[in-house]
Amino acid sequence: GLKHRREVAGKSAIFSGEHFVLEETDWYLLNLFRLWWHYGISFLRLQMWVEEVMEKFMRIYKYQAHGYAFSSLEELLRSLGGEAFVNMTQRSVAESLLEVGVTQRFVDDVIAAVLRSSYGQSVLVPAFAGAMSLAGAQGSTWAVEGGNKLVCSGLLKVTKANVISARVTGISLHSSEGRALYQVHYESTEGQGSAFYDLVVLTTPLHPSRSNFTFENFDPPIADFPGAFQPSVTSVVHGYLNSSYFGFPDPKLFPFTSILTTDTPDLFFHAMDNICPVNISAAFRRKQPQEAAVWRVLSQQPLDKHQLKTLFRSYYSVQVTEWQAYPRYDAAKALPPIVLHQNLFYLSGVEWVASSMEMTAVAAKNVALLAYNRWHQELEKIDQKDLMHKVKTEL
């Protein structure tokens, strides 16, 4: 019952702190000419690189449709793109793109701007995460009418899951007839409680400062994994854009609805865009640039009053959300495991490959298939080699 959210036209630009290094127009051919004029054929080499990665990545849907699963993130990546995909989690996107002929200037201007907007980090993020981010920036992503959160509530409704509104505080290992049994402890408004489960899937990051529950009776013990998370601040501002800061003294002439930024030390924000409601009616139109509109500003630190006054001539309201949005990709190199114990699975480790809704959905289905195959001893469906040949044979 989910519907595709209608797209609202708008132009983007990349800001260096002093001027726009690249501006989008209403004409597709003119946009291509500007890219070629500034960066040669780097944009074509980028597109070919991203398409090659995504074409191999899409194999996961065929594998999962046939019930195949993987017991580690490394095995999953090898099944899609061999050791090259595993290596892409260990080397930077800048290094990978320079190797295929993308220029340093294109990396500094365009790639840096996209990664600052999506991950709030530099071009030193791993190549696989960078490829996922760059694929999403090409405009073919899917948004749900009414908000992407409807995916989660819809899944709960379809599966008829029994949801316990409580905070998990710990997991204890027990045994029953030689099989592992897990006691999950939790706190709710009604007090403390617990329940026993044959299988448990953890979906919270098991990293220092993020995991706030304990494991008991596990030998060897389950410890936190190395790594930290990147702080991100989202400021939703209802106000009048200060177009003069961007070189447009007359606000009526400001043409952009999305502004990305280069990796410039003096820039205090990563990106900003004129946002639309989650429900878009047929009569909806964007505000004119001289009118008060709702802008989303992404930054690493909360904006102070001087910074807000720099971006906006005046504003009615500011709503700020601070969160640990994504892994800080320079903080750890090893990928977390999927299997923590016999029937205890870890989902959130996939964020260290790449962090996105699609990657989490893929990882969730992999864990479900893995748990099913292990429970029913269908081991031929786990960590199989040469899966493309096997899938073609089954077809």
pLDDT 10s digits, 32-85:
999 999 999 999 999 999 999 999 999 999 999 999 999 999 999 999 999 999
Q: How far, in whole angstroms, is CA 189 from its chain's centroid?
A: 32
Contacts of residue 6, defined as CB under 8 A and 6 or more positions apart, other chains included, come to 145, 280
Give the pLDDT confidence score for residue 139 in this predicted structure.
65
Closest CA to 307 of 253, 266, 274, 276: 266
Is residue 298 classed as helix, strand or coil in its secondary structure? strand
377: region left, alpha or beta (phi > 0 left; psi from -120 to 50 alpha):
left
Alpha carbon distance 97, 80 (integer Å) = 20
Sign of the C-alpha dihedral, residues 261, 263, 265, 270? Answer: positive
The pLDDT confidence band at residue 322, using thresholds 50, 70 and 90, is: very high
Q: Are 40 and 32 in contact (CB under 8 A)?
A: no
Tens digits of residue pLDDT in 172-200: 999 877 889 999 999 999 999 999 999 99
The pLDDT confidence band at residue 140, using thresholds 50, 70 and 90, is: low
Q: Are 60 and 96 in contact (CB under 8 A)?
A: no
* Residue range 249-273: mean pLDDT, rounded: 95
Is residue 149 classed as helix, strand or coil in its secondary structure? helix
Contacts of residue 246, defined as CB under 8 A and 6 or more positions apart, other chains included, come to 15, 20, 254, 256, 259
Alpha carbon distance 180, 197 (integer Å) = 9
Q: Name the strand (E) or helix (H) holding 169.
A: strand 167-176
Whether the pLDDT of residue 394 is over 80: the answer is no
Q: Name the strand (E) or helix (H) holding 244.
A: none
Contacts of residue 269, defined as CB under 8 A and 6 or more positions apart, other chains included, come to 261, 297, 298, 299, 303, 307, 311
Q: Name the strand (E) or helix (H) holding 27.
A: none
The pLDDT confidence band at residue 223, using thresholds 50, 70 and 90, is: confident
Q: How far, in whole angstroms, is CA 383 from its chain's centroid?
A: 25
The pLDDT confidence band at residue 209, using thresholds 50, 70 and 90, is: low
Whether the pLDDT of residue 395 is over 60: the answer is no
Whether the pLDDT of residue 202 is over 90: the answer is yes
> Which tokens belong to 204?
């919270």
What secondary structure does DSSP assign to 360-387, as a single string? Answer: HHHHHHHHHHHHHHHHTT-GGGBS-SSH
Is residue 15 classed as helix, strand or coil in its secondary structure? strand
Whether the pLDDT of residue 373 is over 90: the answer is yes
The pLDDT confidence band at residue 316, using thresholds 50, 70 and 90, is: very high
> Which tokens belong to 61?
């849907």
What secondary structure does DSSP assign to 63-130, as a single string? Answer: HHHTT-B-SSHHHHHHHHHHHHHHHTTTSBHHHHHHHTT--HHHIIIIIHHHHHHHTS--TTSBHHHH
